[in-house]
Structure 1
Amino acid sequence: MRFQEHPSNPTEGSPRQRMAAQIREHRSRAGLSVTELADIVGYSKSSMSRFETGDSRVPEELCPKLDAAFGTNGLFTALFEMLRNVRFPDQFLDYMNLERKAEALREWAGFRIPGLLQTPAYARTVFREADRGATEDEIEDRVDARIGRRTIFDQSPNPHFAAILDESVLRRWVGGPAVMVAQLAALLPMMDHEHGTLQVLPFNRGEQSLSEATQIVIELQDSTSLVYVEGSASGQILEDPDVVLARRRAYDRVSAYALSPRESAILIRAVIKEYEE
């Protein structure tokens, strides 16, 4: 009866249920108890039980251990990657494929904190507001997928990432003051770091801002440049060389008028104080 409640078909159920069903099915085929499998992969019995029921997210590092235990030749590693991207629109899936191959990313954020920089609490609020009908599991899967995008910084070589935030992004409440304080504090170590820089375009230079909510200049390792633009309900990848060049020049112009990373950090700290008052 329990197997009927948690389908084994990886195309059915929530993403977390799909992974849970696969673990249960392959453990059963291998003739292992939950305790035996937990001992093999180095997790507690209680943790493994939660993974099998879908009550806890399966961590990425467990997947190759499951593949080794079941002899599944990369199945769980591939399933994790597939579920990492679940529920993203097709055009954003196309962008994420390019993101993983990028040599450099230069993002303009005119409405929200860039996805690569979002805290779980901030991302959770964004997804919940975007889809009021989503279940908590669905929201958590989307949060996991968004946070999981940061693995691009663990690549070798990893991409240079620069971002410019409109000041309105700092001041637009998402999740309330506590969420905003934690989110803005998380930006401070990113102002001038090993992967790139972060700047803020203040209100008094707003005439230089870009029109889209999001624009990302993507530079690939073969020297190809593309641009991903996103509005409130749609996104597209621009490939025309003349359009890409114009978009890149527009980004460079905004960067020239934005505050330096040091000045941007001062502004962010001031906004944090405002939220704390």
Structure 2
Amino acid sequence: MNSPRQQFGEALRDARELRPAGRWTQKQLAREVRTSASTISRLERGEGPIPSNLPPLFDQVFETDGLFKALYEKSRADDFPAHSRRRMEVELRAVKITEWSPTVVPGLLQTSAYAQQLLRNGDLRASDREIATMVGARMSRQDVLKGSSPPYLSVVVCESVLRRNVGGREVMQEQLGVLLARGALHTNVLQVLPLHAATHGLMDGSMSILTSPDGTSIVYAEGVRSATITDEVAVVRDLERAYDVLTASALSPAASADLIRDLMEAS
């Protein structure tokens, strides 16, 4: 059976060539959705990431009632390891997302250049095309923050995350700028845990808490090569409390923004 990504390409080609009002060329379709003919060709071949703005436009011009959006969501999930897929399913409908990271900027806030550096160094055998696909998949996760009603986002990162030189000055300047911009949004809270902070209960690794509209939450905890998901009420409650303690130990959002600005000016 073809992968969701291949199904997307085949559906796009069929919709274009079998269009009831008359066949479109790739160039004509590209003009309708304001992209390039080379992008349409690539998508139909099932190569590379799918730009997040195109599936709803395809559904609109072909009147396919959400077909391309659904295939896009399936292909996006398919780009991630199996242990990440449940997290993504919950993330898409979450009303609140809580993130703690002691090592890197969380994926929802990464720039493509920052993500590329992490992924390249994390898999030295991957081809450039494979890295590009992984970067595109990671960037597509950020669509959840771009809708008309985004989830509330609370993020705490260790100060070391801001000071670690990932990819050089330009990459870090861009990444720190994005953190400032995201932290300034009224639905977001961004805090920095200073290096001098005391020992706390979340030192073992990164953690995300995803809260659904019905109020239930799951915890996604990630290590170097593994990840776990739990919805056990007692465990979730304990980890939520640990996060609350962490936010109390972290710099205020205003002081965190000041620190980021200082680091940008000093670099």
Give the TM-score band, short-chain normalised. 0.7 to 0.9
**2:99 counterpart (85, 103, 107):** 107
Gaps in structure 1 of 5+ consecutive residues: 1-8
How far does the alpha carbon of each residue in 1:98-130 deviate from its partner, in whole angstroms, 9 at most, with x for none? 112222111111111011100010011111112
**C-alpha spacing 1:229/1:144, structure 2 compared with 1 (3 Å):** same
**1:233 counterpart (199, 219, 225):** 225
SS of 1:81's partner is: helix
Query: Structure 2 matches for 1:77-226, cutoff 5 A?
Result: 77-155=69-147, 157-208=149-200, 210-226=202-218
1:34 is the counterpart of 2:34 = no
For 1:264, the aligned partner's letter is S
* Contact kept in structure 2, 1:84 and 1:141, CA below 8 Å: no
1:11 is the counterpart of 2:15 = no
C-alpha distance in 2, partners of 1:18/1:136? 23
Name the structure 2 match of 1:4. Answer: none
> C-alpha root-mean-square deviation of aligned residues, in Å?
2.7
SS of 1:96's partner is: helix
How big is the shift at 1:156? Answer: 5.2
C-alpha distance in 2, partners of 1:239/1:55? 36
SS of 1:216's partner is: strand
SS of 1:85's partner is: helix
C-alpha distance in 2, partners of 1:46/1:198? 39
**C-alpha spacing 1:180/1:42, structure 2 compared with 1 (3 Å):** closer
Gaps in structure 2 of 5+ consecutive residues: none
Displaced runs of 4 or more, over 6 A: none
**C-alpha spacing 1:165/1:39, structure 2 compared with 1 (3 Å):** closer
C-alpha distance in 2, partners of 1:157/1:71? 25
* Contact kept in structure 2, 1:212 and 1:230, CA below 8 Å: no
How far does the alpha carbon of each residue in 1:10-39 deviate from its partner, in whole angstroms, 9 at most, with x for none? 439xx5x77555544554455443334334
**C-alpha spacing 1:267/1:243, structure 2 compared with 1 (3 Å):** same
C-alpha distance in 1, partners of 2:201/2:192? 11
Q: TM-score normalized by structure 2?
A: 0.86
C-alpha distance in 2, partners of 1:181/1:41? 33
Q: TM-score normalized by structure 1?
A: 0.83
**Equivalent pairs: percent with the same residue?**
37
* Contact kept in structure 2, 1:103 and 1:221, CA below 8 Å: yes
